[in-house]
Structure 1
Amino acid sequence: MTVLAVPGSKSVTARALFLAAAADGVSVLRRPLVSDDTDGFAEALTALGYGVDRSGPDWRITGRPAGPAVPSADVYTRDGATAARFLPALAAAGHGSFRFDASAQMRRRPVGPLTAALRDLGVDLVHEGEEGRLPLRIEARGIKGGAIELDSGLSSQFLTALLLVAPLTAEGLRIRVTGLVSAPYVEITLAMMRSFGIDAVRDGDTFTVPPGTYRARDYPVEPDASTASYVFAAAALTGRSATVPGLGTGALQGDLRFVDVLARMGAKVETTTEGTTVTGTGRLSGVTANMRDISDTMPTLAAIAPFADGPVRIEDVYNTRVKECDRLDACAANLRVQGINVATGRDWIEIRPGTPRPVEIACHSDHRIAMSFSVAGLRTPGTTLDDPGCVKKTFPGFHDFLAELRRAWGL
């Protein structure tokens, strides 16, 4: 059995940065993820006037419940969707003039459901280019609060942004959502808000958050469950055993449910309070999996699917078409180049068994495409990537990590 330390969760780190910035006092984030996305989030907070000390392995954030400490700022969020979607809401709760922009890749991704909701709450904002996308400018005068409706069919991040900012409004928020995807990420948000002193109430599709003040705290960041999916898939694919400590029965992240899919395919899975172990049995069965709630792990399953002994069908993942790239089409195209029979629809992909050819994988600047097909490459020597550096978004050390795993397993 190989015990592997996985970097901190991107989702948890981003939420912790927001909560710490909004809290009263100084918070310490233990073992946060250090990656391009989280660096970009922290730099954006600095641009907004928050105190962010990243001089050591743990980060110290000086909170400011009143909002940004500067009267104006030009904020660049790089490729990071969490920063691009969370921080405009934080800025709107303050007072000043704030402009948000991002990379060309992030400019293509939607923010419209969030900005429409902020407008409904009286926030003065304008999209400088295409409506519903960055760049945007906010003339912030605080947020009164009240009741709104939100379409969460493309991303749960829009709901998370509103939940996180809700205590900073004068009256709190009552949010009715439709089409919620990736619901476990919302559960992460609610749990972390409780950790920082604010209780939100969920009644079906309605979330109610009172006004209040977040409390600064010492917060440990758990390992990233989406990243751990590559480790677990590698074990199932190669017949080895791998344990990721820190992702056990009390883990916040829903993407840990990826191991349930591997178990249905024939892998042995053991989850304890201390961590999760996946052991490959030498056989992977075909499976039909609804991955609406764990869609970030869809490329992981798609990449290893040809090695199953029957078709692998992944359903209800339309939202993966509006990620860093259209992940459904990207997975399908790469698998076809490898010689695999693939069919796709609006929100599904079905992959037939086959023997993938070693080819250059088109990453589309998407870290998850790069890492997923790299794992599958453990069974297809000679697989290369056209953009290996794109993994810096969430796991800069991924290639060294995988090479060490290959050596440890004698592959």
Structure 2
Amino acid sequence: MTLVEIPGSKSVTARGLFLAAAAHGTTTLGRPLHSDDTEGFAEGLVKLGYRVDRQPGAWTIEGRPSGPGVAEADVFCRDGATTARFLPALAAAGTGTFHFDASGQMRRRPLGPLTDALQELGVDLTFHGEPGHHPLTVRANGVKGGELTLDAGLSSQFLTALLLLGPLTAEGLRITVTDLVSVPYVEITLEMMRRFGVDVRREGKTFVVPPTPYQACEYPVEPDASTASYFLAAAAVTGRTVTIPGLGSDALQGDVRFADVLREMGAHVELTPDSVTVAGPSDGLRGITVNMRDISDTVPTLAAIAPFASGPVRIEDVYNTRIKECDRLDACEENLRAMGIEVATGRDWIEIQPGPPTGALVKCRRDHRIAMAFSVTGLLVDGVTLDDPECVKKTFPGFHQALAELRANWGV
């Protein structure tokens, strides 16, 4: 058995930063993720006038329930979707003029359902390019609150941003959702809001958020389940065993369910409250048809090991992966075809036939998940190289070193 320490969750770190900034008192986030995305979020808070002390192993944030501590700011959100979607909502609850922009990659990703909702709530918001995209300016004067209808079928982050905003409004929010993807990420948001003193009530498809003030707390950040998927997949496909401590059945993150997908394919999985262990089967993985709507960040991980299964692997109901850092279904198809694997895709599905991959240059498309997923393929295939290995810094700067250590430990 090999133990692999996974860095903190990006999703939990980002939500923790928002909640800490909005809370009464001083919050300490234990073991937060240090990556380009989370550093960008923290720097965005600093630009908005929040005090953030980043020390190794712990970040301390002084809350400002009244909103940003400056009257004007320019915030660059880098590639971070949580930064680009959460911080304009946080700024809207304060007073001042706040300009937001992002990388070219993030400019292409949609904001429309969220910005439409903010405008419906009376937020003065101006786009400086394509409507529903960065760059934009928020002229904030607080948010009264009220009722909304929201389509979160492209990203659960639209709903999360509004849920997080709700307690900062004068009257609270009632958000009725017509469609919702990646439900487990919303569950993370609701549980973390409870830890910061706010209970959201659910009435069918409606989320009722009270205008209850957030209260600071000590919050430990659990390991990142999406990142863990690469190491679990590596064990499953090589016939080895790996254990991830700190991530188990008690985890907030839905992507821990990727272990269940590997179990369906024949891997042995042991889940305790605070650890997950995967052992690859001696006779290889089986093909599978699986709906991954709720764990779509792990789609590239499964696609990258699919050729080694004994039968076809079909992944369904994952249209939202087409509007992530890149079109991930298309990227998986392109890279698998370059390795000589037969692949078919549709609007929201991909089907991968079994076969021996050959070495190829992986086109990462500046997407950390494509780079990390196909690095796992490279454990069993000579000649797999990445055109942009450094893009992993978005969520796991030490990924290549960690995978190299695993390879050396296993002798593969």
* TM-score of Structure 1 vs Structure 2, range by shorter chain: over 0.9
Q: Which residue of 1 aligns with 2:286?
A: 285
Q: Which residue of 2 aligns with 1:127?
A: 127
The answer to whether the aligner puts 1:177 opposite 2:145 as a matched pair is no
Runs of 4+ residues over 2 Å off in structure 1:
none
Report which stretch shifted further, 397-406 or 47-56: 47-56
Structure 1 residues 357-384: Cα deviation after superposition (integer angstroms, max 9, x where no partner)? 1111000000000000001111112210
The answer to whether the aligner puts 1:273 opposite 2:246 as a matched pair is no
The answer to whether the aligner puts 1:36 opposite 2:36 as a matched pair is yes
CA distance in 1, matches of 2:178, 2:236: 36
CA distance in 1, matches of 2:278, 2:206: 37
Structure 1 residues 103-156: Cα deviation after superposition (integer angstroms, max 9, x where no partner)? 010001001110000001010101110011000001101000000011101100
CA distance in 2, matches of 1:35, 1:204: 37
The answer to whether the aligner puts 1:362 opposite 2:342 as a matched pair is no
Q: Once the 2 structures are TM-superposed, how far is the Cα of residue 228 of structure 1 from its aligned partner?
A: 0.3
Q: Once the 2 structures are TM-superposed, how far is the Cα of residue 274 of structure 1 from its aligned partner?
A: 2.5
Structure 1 residues 186-231: Cα deviation after superposition (integer angstroms, max 9, x where no partner)? 0000000000000001122110010011111110000000000001
Q: Secondary structure at the match of 1:73?
A: strand
CA distance in 2, matches of 1:210, 1:128: 33
Q: Secondary structure at the match of 2:180?
A: coil
Q: Which residue of 1 aligns with 2:372?
A: 371
CA distance in 1, matches of 2:203, 2:92: 26
Q: Which residue of 1 aligns with 2:298?
A: 297
Q: Which residue of 1 aligns with 2:149?
A: 149
The answer to whether the aligner puts 1:90 opposite 2:77 as a matched pair is no
CA distance in 1, matches of 2:125, 2:407: 50
The answer to whether the aligner puts 1:315 opposite 2:349 as a matched pair is no
CA distance in 2, matches of 1:396, 1:281: 30
Aligned partner letter, 2:17: L
Q: Once the 2 structures are TM-superposed, how far is the Cα of residue 57 of structure 1 from its aligned partner?
A: 2.1
TM-score, normalised to structure 2's length? 0.99
Aligned partner letter, 2:355: G
Q: Which residue of 2 aligns with 1:71?
A: 71
Aligned partner letter, 1:236: A
The answer to whether the aligner puts 1:245 opposite 2:245 as a matched pair is yes
Structure 1 residues 259-286: Cα deviation after superposition (integer angstroms, max 9, x where no partner)? 1100000000000122000000131000
What residue ranges of structure 1 are gaps of 5+ in the alignment?
none
Aligned partner letter, 1:160: T
The answer to whether the aligner puts 1:161 opposite 2:161 as a matched pair is yes
Q: Once the 2 structures are TM-superposed, how far is the Cα of residue 29 of structure 1 from its aligned partner?
A: 0.4
Contact 2:251 2:274 in 1 (8 A): no
CA distance in 2, matches of 1:150, 1:88: 17
Structure 1 residues 327-359: Cα deviation after superposition (integer angstroms, max 9, x where no partner)? 000000100010000000000000000111111
Q: Which residue of 2 aligns with 1:325?
A: 326
Q: Secondary structure at the match of 1:306?
A: helix
CA distance in 2, matches of 1:121, 1:141: 11
Q: Percent identity?
A: 70
Q: Secondary structure at the match of 1:46?
A: helix
Q: Which residue of 2 aligns with 1:258?
A: 258
CA distance in 2, matches of 1:144, 1:175: 14
CA distance in 2, matches of 1:309, 1:205: 41
- Aligned CA RMSD, in angstroms, stands at 0.6
Q: Once the 2 structures are TM-superposed, how far is the Cα of residue 253 of structure 1 from its aligned partner?
A: 0.2
Contact 2:47 2:75 in 1 (8 A): yes
Q: Once the 2 structures are TM-superposed, how far is the Cα of residue 176 of structure 1 from its aligned partner?
A: 0.5
CA distance in 2, matches of 1:169, 1:274: 36
Q: Once the 2 structures are TM-superposed, how far is the Cα of residue 179 of structure 1 from its aligned partner?
A: 1.5
Q: Which residue of 1 aligns with 2:17?
A: 17
CA distance in 2, matches of 1:377, 1:303: 9
Q: Which residue of 2 aligns with 1:111?
A: 111
Structure 1 residues 305-342: Cα deviation after superposition (integer angstroms, max 9, x where no partner)? 00000000000000000000000000001000100000
CA distance in 2, matches of 1:203, 1:352: 43
Q: Which residue of 1 aligns with 2:398?
A: 397
CA distance in 1, matches of 2:155, 2:273: 30
Q: Secondary structure at the match of 1:179?
A: strand
CA distance in 2, matches of 1:272, 1:57: 25
What residue ranges of structure 2 are gaps of 5+ in the alignment?
none
